[in-house]
Amino acid sequence: MGKHPHPAQQENDEPFQTMSPRLYNQDDPAVTSRLSSDTLLTHRQAKGHSQPSTFPRQDDGSRFGQNAYYPPEGSRYVDNEVSYRPPPAARVEVDGTPNLPPRGPPIPKKPVSLARLEQSQSESIRQQESSIGFTKNDIIIAVMGVTGAGKSTFISLLVEDKIEIGHGLQSCTSAVGVYYFVHRGTRVFLVDTPGFDDTNRSDSEILKDVAFWLAAAYSNKAKLAGIIYLHRISDVRMGGSALRNLRMFKRLCGESSLNSVILATTHWKDTNGVSIPDATGNARIDELVGTNGFWGGMVDRGSQVVKHDGSKASALEIVDNLYARRARVILDIQRQLIDQKRNLDDTDAAQALQQELIRERKEFQRKLEGLKEDMKEAISENDGKWQEQLQKDKIEYEAKINKTYAETDALRTNLKKIAEEKEAQFKELQRQMEEQKRQYQEQLDARDAEMKEFQSELRRRQEAHEQQRREDNERNARQQAAYNEKLAKTEERLRTEKDEAIRQQIEHERRMYEKYHEQQKEEAEKARRAQEEKWQWQQRLDQEREQQLEREREAAREKMAALELKTRKRSRWNPKRWFGEKYRDY
Ligand SMILES: Nc1nc2c(ncn2[C@@H]2O[C@H](COP(=O)(O)OP(=O)(O)O)[C@@H](O)[C@H]2O)c(=O)[nH]1
Ligand SMILES: [Mg+2]
């Protein structure tokens, strides 16, 4: 633990539980009450009440709150250093009495480097990493734009934790991804939202996801600092889906928040490194800004157009722009869902989507009418192939029309229903994860059992080998003894036998016998060596098999770990884990 103990640990021994995806127990009333008291705390602080005394001021005047670190009052971050603004000098009022400045915290004697501040702060932040909940000091920025505009790429420039680029978290309960990094000692959350042109999700589903996330954030007093809307400058003209996406975006925000929108152009360089000339790009921007349905009205209402060249510095500059404004915006969709308690289909954004759907439906119906005419012609011409094709087209258009009806129906919902849907989806996801985990565990167990079986087999073989060796040794010893005995007897006979001819005969026998014995020994030795080689070869095989098994076990274990990581990650996207029990209030 660092220099500054976590405030929660000062207060009591238990680690502090915010809306932690892992720690947060939704059924625990103690936790729920703590959550609400936490909200209260930040609210009190916002109103200028004194800080709780449990979090003593540091020697530089800074202080830890329950959830966050408060830099010393009067300090501002300037590049790499914190500069201290002296308290305002006493002004002399007209009547001559000095108007003393409000009593503030003690002025630190020497400036503290930002590095030190960031270090202590990131320590406290790191401690909170497992329990992410928003505090009022956090900066939340939504990143929007069509699919492929570069939202995920933009975010991954700033967030070190890796992020899926190119495709979203398809199977998860929400298409909204939240990431954060620390900028100038403040946590900056970047919200990756899907565009209204996703091939895997219908627009109504996307609207539900985005609206739900924004509403949940707002109902937890987490306000956006701004929105970054990314646009591909490489597009020669505003395509149908880009325009549609922009229309939806404007309705989500509403006019009043347009001054916190940054319209950032991306894709200035293609993948081969060929740049779009500034003149061309600027001409396109001018056209966008000059056209009313495009960015025209937006820029008039304070949206800012910037160029994002794809570098980290450029991304940071854009974020810093919003950071420096210290603005807090409420989007129309948030106001309408939370403050006005409207159903989703009564919000401006949903109505815009419904209009889009009606427009689409009319288009398909017009095409269907055209098909009928063609069909008449095809029948009169007796063109079988054409008829078949027309029939196929008809089915396709009818399906598309039905889809627009289904989407319109899907919008007839409210936050409570979405929350319930999400909870159900999340439970299902968890169930699937559990099932998968169980399967992996089974695999792992099977591998373990196989390994055990193999090891006991090895032991059995080892014992058999030992036994064989012992028997061989004993037999050899017996043979040697028999030979020695026989030799001794022959020697004895030689000594006692007087007849030279017989002596020679015995001598000859003895030599023959010795030779025979030598041969026997040699053969035994050869057989032993062959046996030994076979044994070693067998052992090598066994070792390889053992290593193979170990590798398989390791792979199964890795799969398990990856799955667990995935489970943890996925559970982070469940807004319930983010925002706690709040939806119950809707
Ligand atoms: N040339 C170029 N490619 C980019 C840029 N930003 C993103 N891309 C690529 O565009 C594709 C889509 O980007 P992604 O970040 O997934 O878009 P998203 O759908 O908005 O999240 C990816 O292949 C990126 O590598 C950029 O500024 N220039
Ligand atoms: Mg993306």
Domain membership of residue 311 (yes or no) is yes
pLDDT at 136: 79
pLDDT at 303: 95
Q: Which of 147, 153, 246 to mutate to test the pocket of ligand 1 (most atoms within 8 A of CB)?
A: 153
Are residues 321 and 368 both part of a single domain?
A: no
Domain membership of residue 579 (yes or no) is no
Span 244-285, pLDDT tens digits: 999 999 999 999 999 999 999 999 998 888 999 999 999 999
pLDDT at 205: 92
Are residues 372 and 471 both part of a single domain?
A: no
Of 10-19, 37-46, 251-260, which has the strongest mean pLDDT?
251-260
Residue with tokens 């057989």: 527
Helix axes 348-381, 240-253, angle to 10 degrees: 150
Are residues 228 and 286 both part of a single domain?
A: yes
**CA nearest to 192, candidates 181, 205, 176:** 176
Relative to the CA of 308, which ligand 1 atom is closest?
27
- Spacing, Cα 453 to ligand 1 middle (Å): 52
Are residues 312 and 299 both part of a single domain?
A: yes
Span 549-568, pLDDT tens digits: 899 889 888 888 888 777 66
Are residues 489 and 513 both part of a single domain?
A: yes
pLDDT band at 424 (very low <50, low <70, confident <90, very high): confident
Domain membership of residue 145 (yes or no) is yes
Q: Is 309 in the pocket of ligand 1 (CB under 6 A)?
A: no
Are residues 247 and 335 both part of a single domain?
A: yes
Average pLDDT over the chain reads: 77
Q: Are 204 and 353 in contact (CB under 8 A)?
A: yes
Q: Is 149 in the pocket of ligand 1 (CB under 6 A)?
A: yes
Q: Is the pLDDT of residue 164 over 60?
A: no
Domain membership of residue 99 (yes or no) is no
Are residues 34 and 142 both part of a single domain?
A: no
Q: Is the pLDDT of residue 20 over 70?
A: no
Q: Are 142 and 228 in contact (CB under 8 A)?
A: yes
Domain membership of residue 433 (yes or no) is no
Are residues 390 and 455 both part of a single domain?
A: no
Give me the CATH number covering residue 310: 3.40.50.300
Ligand that lies nearest to the alpha carbon of residue 197, given by its number in the listed order: 1
Span 463-477, pLDDT tens digits: 999 999 899 899 989
Span 330-385, pLDDT tens digits: 999 999 999 999 999 999 999 999 999 999 999 999 999 999 999 999 999 888 89
Q: Is 96 in the pocket of ligand 1 (CB under 6 A)?
A: no
pLDDT at 487: 87
Domain membership of residue 89 (yes or no) is no
Comparing 131-135, 244-248, 535-539, which segment has the lowest mean pLDDT?
131-135
Domain membership of residue 98 (yes or no) is no
Span 293-319, pLDDT tens digits: 899 999 999 999 999 999 999 999 999
Nearest 5°: CA angle at 92, between 89 and 97?
Answer: 120
pLDDT at 339: 93
CA dist., res. 472 & res. 535, Å (int): 15
Burial class of residue 13 (count of CB atoms within 10 Å of its CB; 0-12, 13-18, 19+): exposed
pLDDT at 223: 87
Q: For residue 302, what is the DSSP state?
A: T
- Spacing, Cα 271 to ligand 1 middle (Å): 10
Q: Is 199 in the pocket of ligand 1 (CB under 6 A)?
A: no
* Torsion angle, alpha carbons of 382, 388, 392, 395, to 10: 60
pLDDT at 577: 57
Domain membership of residue 434 (yes or no) is no
CA dist., res. 208 & res. 549, Å (int): 48
Q: Which residue has the higher pLDDT, 84 or 393?
A: 393
Average pLDDT over residues 143-151: 94
Q: Is 479 helix (H, G, I), strand (E, B) or coil?
A: helix
Q: Is 231 in the pocket of ligand 1 (CB under 6 A)?
A: no
For CA atoms 71, 77, 81, 84, give the dihedral sign.
Answer: negative
pLDDT at 31: 35
pLDDT band at 432 (very low <50, low <70, confident <90, very high): confident
Q: Is 165 in the pocket of ligand 1 (CB under 6 A)?
A: yes
Q: Is 266 in the pocket of ligand 1 (CB under 6 A)?
A: yes
Are residues 390 and 287 both part of a single domain?
A: no
pLDDT at 576: 57
Range of the domain at 408: 348-412
CA dist., res. 502 & res. 469, Å (int): 42
Of 73, 107, 133, the position where a domain reaches its end is 133
DSSP letters, 319-343, are HHHHHHHT--B--HHHIIIIIS---
pLDDT at 366: 95
CA dist., res. 311 & res. 314, Å (int): 5
In total, how many domains does the chain have? 4
**CA nearest to 247, candidates 298, 303, 308, 302:** 298
Q: Are 182 and 160 in contact (CB under 8 A)?
A: no
Structure tokens at 288: 């966008």
Q: Which residue has the higher pLDDT, 131 or 475?
A: 475
- Spacing, Cα 149 to ligand 2 middle (Å): 8
Are residues 194 and 246 both part of a single domain?
A: yes
Comparing 35-44, 155-164, 445-454, which segment has the lowest mean pLDDT?
35-44
Q: Which residue has the higher pLDDT, 125 or 218?
A: 218
Span 482-496, pLDDT tens digits: 989 988 998 888 888
Instruction: Name which residue sits closest to atom 8 of ligand 1, judged by CA.
Output: 150
Q: For residue 57, what is the DSSP state?
A: B
Relative to the CA of 309, which ligand 1 atom is closest?
27
Average pLDDT over residues 315-333: 95
Are residues 153 and 38 both part of a single domain?
A: no
CA dist., res. 424 & res. 408, Å (int): 22
Instruction: Name which residue sits closest to atom 22 of ligand 1, judged by CA.
Output: 166
Average pLDDT over residues 116-135: 48
Are residues 183 and 235 both part of a single domain?
A: yes
Structure tokens at 106: 């003690």
